[in-house]
């Protein structure tokens, strides 16, 4: 059996603000075809970690590798162009654009040609094709001409994913994609994430434990910025450290 293709590696990344250590020496590997979940209570440092991986925040120490390159000093847009897609806790769609336009704009990041001021953006075949594909993959084809602001919450979260997919990423960093969803919407999103699993390395930050244990191949548990356990769902479920942190059990 061949070893999994590692797409993103974090080596002992830390983030400090003065005396506060938000993330402390966290290391993790993301391989293609796997979902790696990061769980923890509020303030555990999950979002700070994802921000460092995506390049939105510079780590105080440590190193990040993307597709074998040291990207620690790369800007967020450069990392995104190199194949790193992310979604946010809060919706960051463009409400006045249609669903399709949201995805086409995202796809345009791969073929920007900003100097071609005379070319109509809607005539760009590459970004149009990528947008159609990502809308279809996220299951939003029927809604593609609707203004994104009119979508339901769950559909907006799907659109977030579709916008990520439009940039053809290898790595997906998903920050609470299930937040605020009902049961039906959660099921739809989990099916989508399961479909995406094969072609991507996915980092999932999530509070919905049922969903996490259902979909994740590996789970990292953070408390106060540090990793207290990391391994398979079974390992984490039976970890005394996790039980202590979550349930107060010895």
Partner 1 sequence: MKRSEVIFVVVAFAAMALFPLVAEPYGIDRVTKIMIFCIFALSLELLVGSTGLVCFGQAAFLGIGAYAAVLLSPSDGPVSLLWLLPACMLSAAAYALFMGALSLRTRGVYFIMVTLAFSQMAFYVVHDTPLGGGTDGIYLTNKPVLGSLLDLERSLPMYAFTFVCLLCVFILLALILRSRFGRALAGIRVNEQRMRATGFSTYPYKLAAFVLSGGIAGLAGFLFAVKDGFVNPELMSWHLSGEVLIMIILGGLGHLRGALLGAFAFAMLQELFKSEAIFGDFAKHWHLGLGLSIIASVALLPRGLVGVPQQLGARLLGRHQSAPGATSIEGAK
Residue ranges binding partner 1 (CB under 8 A): 54, 56, 75-78, 80-81, 85-86, 88, 92-97, 104-106, 108-122, 124, 127, 146-150, 163, 167
> If we measure between CA atoms, which residue out of 150, 164, 158, 199 comes closest to residue 177?
158
207 Cβ neighbours under 8 A, 6+ residues apart: 39, 176, 178, 179
Q: How far is CA 191 from CA 132, 184, 221, in A?
A: 20, 11, 23
Give the span between the Cα atoms of 108 and 131, in whole angstroms.
9
Instruction: List the structure tokens of 175.
Output: 């920050």
CB of 160 to partner 1, least distance (A): 9
Burial class (CB in 10 A: 0-12, 13-18, 19+), 122: exposed
Residue whose CB is less far from partner 1, 92 or 191: 92
Judged by beta carbon, residue 107 or residue 236, the one nearer partner 1 is 107
Closer CB to partner 1, 16 or 81, in the complex: 81
Using CA atoms, how far apart are residues 220 and 27, in angstroms rounded to an integer?
Answer: 10
CB of 94 to partner 1, least distance (A): 5
Q: How far is the CB of 219 from partner 1 (least distance, A)?
A: 25
Enumerate residues 6+ apart whose C-beta is below 8 A from 90: none
Judged by beta carbon, residue 6 or residue 168, the one nearer partner 1 is 168
Nearest to 76 by CA among 45, 44, 50, 115: 50
- Rounded least distance, CB 42 to partner 1, Å: 21
Cβ of residue 224: shortest distance to partner 1, in angstroms? 27
Judged by beta carbon, residue 9 or residue 86, the one nearer partner 1 is: 86
Smallest gap, in angstroms, from Cβ of residue 11 to partner 1? 23
Residue the block writes with tokens 């439009």: 166
| Residue 173 or 228 having the CB closest to partner 1 | 173
């Amino acid at each position: 059996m061949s070893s999994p293709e590692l797409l993103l590696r974090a080596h002992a990344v830390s983030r400090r603000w003065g005396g506060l250590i938000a993330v402390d020496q966290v290391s993790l590997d993301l391989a293609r075809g796997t979902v790696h979940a990061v769980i923890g209570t509020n303030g555990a440092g999950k979002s700070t970690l994802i921000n460092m991986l995506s390049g939105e925040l510079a780590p105080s120490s440590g190193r990040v590798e993307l597709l074998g390159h040291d990207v620690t000093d790369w800007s967020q847009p450069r990392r995104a162009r190199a194949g790193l897609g992310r979604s946010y806790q809060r919706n960051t769609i463009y409400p006045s654009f249609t669903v399709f336009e949201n995805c086409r704009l995202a796809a345009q990041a791969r073929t920007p040609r900003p100097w071609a001021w005379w070319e109509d953006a809607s005539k760009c075949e590459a970004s149009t094709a990528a947008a159609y594909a990502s809308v279809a993959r996220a299951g939003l084809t029927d809604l593609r001409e609707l203004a994104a602001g009119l979508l339901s919450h769950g559909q907006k979260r799907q659109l977030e994913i579709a916008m990520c997919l439009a940039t053809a990423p290898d790595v997906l960093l998903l920050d609470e994609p299930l937040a605020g969803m009902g049961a039906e919407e959660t099921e739809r999103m989990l099916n989508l994430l399961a479909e995406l699993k094969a072609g991507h390395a996915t980092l999932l930050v999530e509070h919905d434990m049922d969903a996490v244990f259902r979909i994740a191949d590996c789970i990292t548990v953070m408390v106060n910025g540090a990793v207290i356990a990391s391994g398979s769902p079974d390992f984490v479920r039976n970890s005394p450290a996790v039980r202590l942190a979550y349930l107060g059990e010895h």
